[in-house]
Amino acid sequence: MTQMKERLVQLEVLRYNPDTDTEAHFQRYEVTCYEEGVVLDALNKIKADIDPTLNFRWSCHMAVCGSCGMMINGEPKLSCHTFLREYEGVIRVEPLTHFPIERDLVTAPDDFMEKLKRVKPYIIPKEDKPISEGEYKQTPAQLMKFRQYSMCINCMLCYAACPQYGLTPEFIGPAALTMAHRYNQDSRDGGRKERQEVVATHEGVWECTFVGACSEVCPAHVDPASALQQMKITSSIDWIVEHMIPGGKK
């Protein structure tokens, strides 16, 4: 049996403790990790063996719970899915940008949570159907129409990547708007009109200038940029129907 190879990893981690600090500062750590490990493994090793006061969130270690989003060398990443083998030299780890830092790598996601709720991310049925009548029929094609957008793990990397969100915090943002699109596209849903009150506004899709960063950093391949551009088109069509076609007013 061969042994797992180890390597020395150098990390520069942004630290902030509200009890003692007025500003955040970088702290350098050196730790030995398995070569095939991820940045999160290095952080856990630091916490267990070197510095128990280093704080960060994590849970699943398989890129599905969305807890461990961080900036790694300036890029929003899930630290459980950022492989040490892809890095040389010192790895710089910071909390997700565009969110207030509670402490060290822990940010406050309150704004995102509130925005997610605003887009009504749940089925608003076209008509009530009791459970006793069985399932809604939905063909595989109808499922595929929205499935990609249902893969969002709410890790908020897209918010950290989106400069519009950084500059205009009122922006509903990529993940939440994508969730509106996900339900709008679902054959079981009839709630699009209600969601448009949030979606088709200046804080909604029209704040998006299609930087496309959200889709580039999304670890779940959701492609929020695509969802938002599609919603811009449908919202524009709504407007045209409403304002330019006689009798088209809703």
Partner 1 sequence: MSRRPLVREVPPTSWYFRHPRYLRYMSREITSIFVGAYCLLLVVGLQRLASGPTAWEGFLLGLRSADSIVFHLLALAAAVYHATTWFNATQKAMPIQIGEDFVPGNVISGAHYVVWVVLSFAILFLVGVF
Partner 2 sequence: MDTISTDVAIIGAGGAGLRAAIALAETDPTLRIALISKVYPMRSHTCAAEGGAAGVIKPDDSFDLHFDDTVGGGDWLSDQDCVEYFVHEAPKELLQLEHWGCPWNREADGSVAVRPFGGMKKQRTWFAADKSGFHILHTLFQTSLQFPSITRYDEYYALDLLVDDGRCQGVTAMEMRSGQLRQFHAKAVIIAGGGAGRMFPFSTNGAIKTGDGMAMAYRAGAPLKDMEFVQYHPTGLPNTGSLLTEACRGEGGILVNKNGRRYLQDYGMGPETPVGKPQLKTMELGPRDRVSQAYWHELQKGNTVPTQWGDCVLLDMRHLGEKKINERLPLVRELCASYLQVDIVKDPVPIRPVVHYMMGGISTNTAAATPLPGLFAAGECACVSLNGANRLGSNSLIELLVFGRRAALSAIEHIQGLPASNTAALNARAGETQQRIDKLFSSTNGTESMSGLRKEMMDTMEKNVGIYRTEDGLQEGVSKIHELRQRYCDVKLTDKSNVFNTDLFQALELGSMLDCAEAVTVGALARKESRGSHQRLDYVERDDKKFLCHTMVHHQGLDVPRVDYLDVVITKSPPGVRDYSGDHK
The DSSP H or E segment spanning 8 is strand 6-15
Q: Does 243 bind partner 2 (CB under 8 A)?
A: no
**Contacts to partner 1 from residues 6-35, by CB under 8 A:** 16, 18-19, 23-24
Per-residue mark of binding to partner 2, 50-69 (x: CB under 8 A): --xx-xxxxxxxxxxxxx--
Give least dist CB 166 to partner 1, A.
4
Q: Does 103 bind partner 2 (CB under 8 A)?
A: yes
**Residue 62 binding: pick among partner 2, partner 1, none (C-beta 5-8 Å cut-off by kind):** partner 2
Q: Which is nearer to partner 2, 36 or 197 (CB)?
A: 36
Per-residue mark of binding to partner 1, 104-123 (x: CB under 8 A): ----x---------------
Stretch near partner 1 under the rule CB under 8 A, chosen from 2-10, 119-127, 129-137, 207-215: 207-215
Q: Helices in the chain by DSSP H: which ranges?
A: 39-45, 110-118, 140-147, 157-161, 163-167, 174-184, 192-199, 213-217, 224-244
Residue 110 burial (CB count, 10 A): 10
Structure-token pair, residue 173: 């943002």
Residue type, 140: P
Residue 86 burial (CB count, 10 A): 11
